[in-house]
Amino acid sequence: MRHFAVVGSGPAGFYTAEALAKAYGEAARMDIIDRYPVPYGLIRFGVAPDHQSLKAVSKRYDKVAETAGVGFIGNVCVGADVSVEELMEHYDAVILAIGAPHDRKLGIPGEDLPGVIGSAQFVGWYNGHPDFADLGPPLDGTHAAIIGNGNVALDCARILSKTRAEFDGSDIVGHALDALDNSAIKTITVLGRRGPLQIAMTPKELGELAHLEAALPLVDLNDFPPVEADDGLDPGQRKSVTILRDFANIRANRPKAMVFDFFAKPLAIEGDGRAERLIVERTELDEKGAARGTGETYEVPASLIVSCIGYSTPSIAGVPYDERAGKFLNEAGRIADRLYCVGWARRGPTGTIGTNRPDGYEVAEAVAAAMPAGSSGDRAGGEGLKALLGERGIGATDFTDWRRIERAEEAAARSGSPREKMVRVEEWLQALGR
């Protein structure tokens, strides 16, 4: 019998467990370990609450969790409650799928002022992540700025601009819904260092903006090259750029504005004790397509500034780490003998949910090649880990416990919402009677 530990229950962890279960059948047992008693990583805490159809992918992960030989050990933080070294004593291989939960810094003066937050914090707040339940982003000013030109920036801008009714059918947490409902924000400026043809926004997410109830997406057609330039783009990007251009033709009167500010490089954040404005330098594209400052500066008022410029994986003691890239040092997912990584912890924070599937399958194949199905190890696996956790007084949870939490969340659902997510570890444990 082989024993595998998959650390992290986001998409990468689940696809890896699925692939290992297929490769080994009854000849292996594997535990998906997560720091929280609730699984699914960014499917729960990242993907926008008003994109419920995407969140439905968790149903597929449920099936994996219910597969014979696959266990879930929640409420256990690897690196704090148990070390990677200890896991490796108990399991034949350890696969780190811990994602990239830390916001990258902007690296500009003023970024520590109150009112400046990273997207992991802001997204975590509206999605019920326990670390950010008390974030209280300032929504009392009329202007917000979103730094970044990817889909996460769009998520943040859209969530800030929606009306209460537009959240019907979403699983946004109650505290965020109430705060957003009382928000004074009227103008949301989305800043990108390069131009409209260089965005990393997908057509579906952009297209939604045209139909917002209260906010009008605004572009300046002077930022765009002649329309013939779009011919050189790949089809998906061309579609996105066409949608952006079409924003200029929307004739509607809406009380809020979402302003796309291209060729805009934040230089500093200023304010008297809190963020009040961004100092921005106008850029142009150089010969290589990178943003080059022009020396012209201007101010963008904003008392809430959300940076959406990427994430990094935290380091874990004993695991080789690539400081520059902010992820584990690895070659095709292999970190060292019997130690692997997958998903964002392997590749960095890029790609969609689906990108993690081939990633997980590739690493599972590498594991199976190193330890062919049929070969056996002599490690204690989950039983050994649970005994160790017991000695340390760490109350691990399992998949049945998660189902109980899920039922409690569904029972508490507001009208029009699929569930009222619990936002604190204590609430989860209380639902389990602990």
Ligand X SMILES: Cc1cc2nc3c(=O)[nH]c(=O)nc-3n(C[C@H](O)[C@H](O)[C@H](O)COP(=O)(O)OP(=O)(O)OC[C@H]3O[C@@H](n4cnc5c(N)ncnc54)[C@H](O)[C@@H]3O)c2cc1C
Is 33 a binder of ligand X (CB under 6 A)?
yes
User: Can you spell out the DSSP letters for 303-324?
Assistant: SEEEE-S-EEPPP-TTS-EETT
Residue 178, exposed/middle/buried by CB under 10 A (0-12, 13-18, 19+)?
A: exposed
Is 123 a binder of ligand X (CB under 6 A)?
yes
Residue 71's DSSP bridge partners are 31
Tokens of 300: 């963008």
Residue 282, exposed/middle/buried by CB under 10 A (0-12, 13-18, 19+)?
A: middle
Can you tell me whether residue 71 is helix, strand or coil? strand
Rounded to 10 degrees, the C-alpha dihedral 55/61/62/63 comes to: 130
Residue closer to ligand X, measured from CB, 283 or 356: 356
Query: Considering only 10-18, 85-93, 299-307, 322-330, which stretch makes contact with ligand X by CB under 6 A?
Result: 10-18
Residue closer to ligand X, measured from CB, 55 or 143: 55
Residue closer to ligand X, measured from CB, 23 or 154: 154
Total H helices, total E strands in the chain:
15, 19
Is 35 a binder of ligand X (CB under 6 A)?
yes
Residue closer to ligand X, measured from CB, 16 or 189: 16
CA–CA separation, 340 and 335 (whole Å): 5
Is 348 a binder of ligand X (CB under 6 A)?
no
Interface residue with ligand X among 19, 24, 29, 41 (CB under 6 A) is: 41
Is 343 a binder of ligand X (CB under 6 A)?
yes
Residue closer to ligand X, measured from CB, 77 or 257: 77
Residue 295, exposed/middle/buried by CB under 10 A (0-12, 13-18, 19+)?
A: exposed
Q: Are 131 and 102 in contact (CB under 8 A)?
A: no
CA–CA separation, 271 and 280 (whole Å): 14
Is 79 a binder of ligand X (CB under 6 A)?
yes
Interface residue with ligand X among 9, 189, 307, 417 (CB under 6 A) is: 9
Interface residue with ligand X among 23, 30, 73, 78 (CB under 6 A) is: 78
Residue closer to ligand X, measured from CB, 10 or 266: 10
Is 227 a binder of ligand X (CB under 6 A)?
no
Query: Considering only 181-189, 278-286, 346-354, 399-407, which stretch makes contact with ligand X by CB under 6 A?
Result: 346-354
Query: Considering only 47-55, 181-189, 325-333, 412-420, which stretch makes contact with ligand X by CB under 6 A?
Result: 47-55
| Residue indicated by tokens 């707040």 | 125
Q: Could you tell me the CA-to-CA distances from 256 to 104, 149, 259, 303, 341 in Å, in that order?
A: 29, 20, 10, 16, 43
Residue 334's CB: how many other CB atoms inside 10 A? 16
Residue closer to ligand X, measured from CB, 4 or 36: 36
Interface residue with ligand X among 17, 30, 42, 219 (CB under 6 A) is: 42
Length of the chain: 434
Is 58 a binder of ligand X (CB under 6 A)?
no
Q: Are 145 and 304 in contact (CB under 8 A)?
A: yes
Residue closer to ligand X, measured from CB, 75 or 283: 75
Query: Considering only 250-258, 350-358, 383-391, 423-431, which stretch makes contact with ligand X by CB under 6 A?
Result: 350-358
Interface residue with ligand X among 92, 155, 230, 409 (CB under 6 A) is: 155
Binding-site ranges for ligand X (CB under 6 A): 7-13, 33-36, 41-42, 46-47, 51, 54, 77-79, 97-99, 101, 123, 152, 155, 343-345, 351-353, 356
